[in-house]
Structure 1
Amino acid sequence: MGELPGMIRPELQALPQVKDRMTFLYLEHCTLGRQDGAITVTDEKGVVHIPAAAISVLLLGPGTRVTHRAMELMGDTGVGAVWVGEHGVRYYAHGRPLTTRAGLLLRQAELVTNTRKHLAVVRKMYQLRFPEEDVSRLTMQQLRGREGSRVRGVYRKASRKTGVPWNGRLYRPDDFAAGDKVNQALSAGHACLYGLAHAVIVALGCSPGLGFVHVGHEGSFVYDIADLYKAEVTIPIAFQVAAEDPEDLPAVVRRRVRDAMVEHHILERMVHDIRWLLQDEETPEEAAEEAVYLWDDRVGTVANGVNYFEAGEGDAPSSSSP
């Protein structure tokens, strides 16, 4: 079989770093193909060429078809693919994260498993909710109390503004109709927010299951991140739609939340907030090249691709050649 035409696969070192790329590109009702080093996006209006090396993540929405050649190029150039609902309101599956390095995932695991660092991340999460207050010395119990008071205030304010009675949150995953109109609207709206958070988390290479406020569920970190934006997006919309009482309440909520997430740049903010929560000022930027090391219980990591048989125990290898 002859060589396939097209762009020669670049070395990882030649690819631009993530910080130099576009962020996320959402596509729907189109066909993705490949022409040389560009992904072609074809719909009824024509064809658009997108340089693969300039993209970090493609969010593939409804009506999207992807050719094998397009996926080949995306794999070669490190473009992440996440299959989502309309404008990210659902998460269905993902192909690969946008980075070949596991630095952010390792950092997340380190923070989750160290009690002191775990609490520091939780405080940062609550700091996003209380930007005008100093929560750096509050305990988990105090933080939960403050958050509970804040959320009750948000619900009461929305209830007074819309005239919709509020009798508390009632949510049964197996019985959507069990709640009143506003509770149904909240469930539908929160599901949209969870979908977008899940897509962003896996695209960044993090684990959806390693949460800080929420723990024990495969989507714990998804709930952590989504909770940062509920008071701004889904709660006000849920009360507004419940007051209007449309015939298809869940569908109206999904469209309103979709538009609000675009208007308030929630996707971009999630990317920024996740990095801020998991990284600190001393965390270096991830390099573009692939990095694989061997774990060592004394020094942390040692070089991969080295034959250590010739070296004595604890000694440096005699050769750095693989």
Structure 2
Amino acid sequence: MAQGERLFVKVTRESLPQVQDKYPFLYLERGRLEIDDSSVKWIDSDNNVVPLPVATLNTLLLGPGTSVTHEAIKTATAANCSVSWVGEDSLLFYAAGFLPTADTRNLKRQITLAADESKALEVARTMFRKRFPDADLVGKSLNSMMGMEGNRVRALYQQKAEQYGVGWKGRQFVPGKFEFSDLTNQILTASNAALYGILCSAVHAMGYSPHIGFIHSGSPLPFVYDLADLYKEPLCIDLAFHLTRDMAGRYDKHKVAAEFRKRVIQMDLLKQVSSDINELMGVRRAHRIGK
């Protein structure tokens, strides 16, 4: 490969794209991630070799049957591409790698806000205002706003069921028994998990912690769950009822993944996430990752 065609000629903090400028994610399973001439390549189970432009990716989601070399991780993180380990089709989120270019400034800001009860409540109100733009939330307690949200989501499920002509008996999910749910719930579970994986990687990339939330608590990734509720309506809920009608009773993981990815790109999710997090944390302008 000629010098001018090298994927990594020189990577500097100034040349790194912002999180919102990158392609959202790439899901990989049953293959090996390694290095070839300073670029990352993917070798699948049929020995097909695919070069991966990690400098243009926000995160790699590594699924079952994946192995990765130390050099591949080093090269990906040098390009500010996060790496997350997930279950099949991103149905479970296991872990995420920390980027070495991140500092603690944003983390300190997040901790400061979360540790102050009044400031944490105001961050929560800002999130709820995005879903209740016409409601007066001044003086509302967190429990009261969570109750409003619960009612909104239940009504939304029913609305989408009627819109797409799909039967709906409520949200049901048994951990480890994905196939026991009905088709709509399977799609909801899969798309929710994929959304969590993307958001967790974005949160890490911006120097925040997924473990410090403002609405959710007592769960592994409360800040990710806080953020996910801002985007679930178009990316997960509408998707689930729309595809239930189209799939005619049979779950198709490839169709779910393709449609979910298309919606993520259409709504420019990473740009929206970056903007929303900066607004929530009181950051007036977006900073480049790692600066």
Instruction: Report the TM-score, using the length of structure 1 for normalisation.
Output: 0.67
Task: Indicate which of 196, 199, 202 corresponds to 1:197.
Answer: 199
CA shift digits 1:197-242 (9 cap, x unpaired)? 2222222232222111110111222211111111122111111222
Distance 1:154 1:244 in 2: 19
In the alignment, which residue of structure 1 is the partner of 2:215? 213
CA shift digits 1:121-147 (9 cap, x unpaired)? 101111221234453443223312321
Distance 1:156 1:34 in 2: 51
Give SS of 1:200's match: helix
Distance 2:19 2:169 in 1: 47
**Structure 1 position 272, deviation (Å):** 2.3
Structure 2 CA distance for partners of 1:17 and 1:56, relative to 1, 3 Å = farther
Give SS of 1:59's match: strand
In the alignment, which residue of structure 2 is the partner of 1:270? 273
Distance 1:71 1:144 in 2: 40
Structure 2 CA distance for partners of 1:121 and 1:22, relative to 1, 3 Å = closer
Structure 2 CA distance for partners of 1:24 and 1:285, relative to 1, 3 Å = closer
In the alignment, which residue of structure 2 is the partner of 1:24? 22
**Structure 1 position 117, deviation (Å):** 1.0
1:109 aligns with 2:114: no
**Structure 1 position 19, deviation (Å):** 7.3
Structure 2 CA distance for partners of 1:18 and 1:104, relative to 1, 3 Å = farther
Whether the 8 Å contact between 2:19 and 2:289 is mirrored in structure 1 is no
Alignment of 1:132-211 (within 5 A): 132-211=134-213
Whether the 8 Å contact between 1:55 and 1:79 is mirrored in structure 2 is no
- Count of aligned positions: 273
1:59 aligns with 2:60: yes
Distance 1:212 1:21 in 2: 22
Give SS of 1:82's match: strand
In the alignment, which residue of structure 2 is the partner of 1:255? 258
Structure of higher CA gyration radius: 1
1:83 aligns with 2:84: yes
Structure 2 CA distance for partners of 1:117 and 1:166, relative to 1, 3 Å = same
Distance 2:51 2:256 in 1: 33
Distance 1:69 1:186 in 2: 36
Give SS of 2:60's match: strand
Quick one: percent identity of the two aligned structures?
A: 29
Distance 1:21 1:189 in 2: 21
Give SS of 1:205's match: coil
Where do 5+ consecutive residues of structure 1 fail to align?
A: 1-6, 290-322
**Structure 1 position 68, deviation (Å):** 4.5
1:24 corresponds to which letter in structure 2?
K
Structure 2 CA distance for partners of 1:193 and 1:95, relative to 1, 3 Å = closer
Greater per-residue helix proportion:
2
Where do 5+ consecutive residues of structure 2 fail to align?
A: 1-7
Whether the 8 Å contact between 2:211 and 2:220 is mirrored in structure 1 is yes
Structure 2 CA distance for partners of 1:126 and 1:260, relative to 1, 3 Å = same
Give SS of 2:149's match: helix
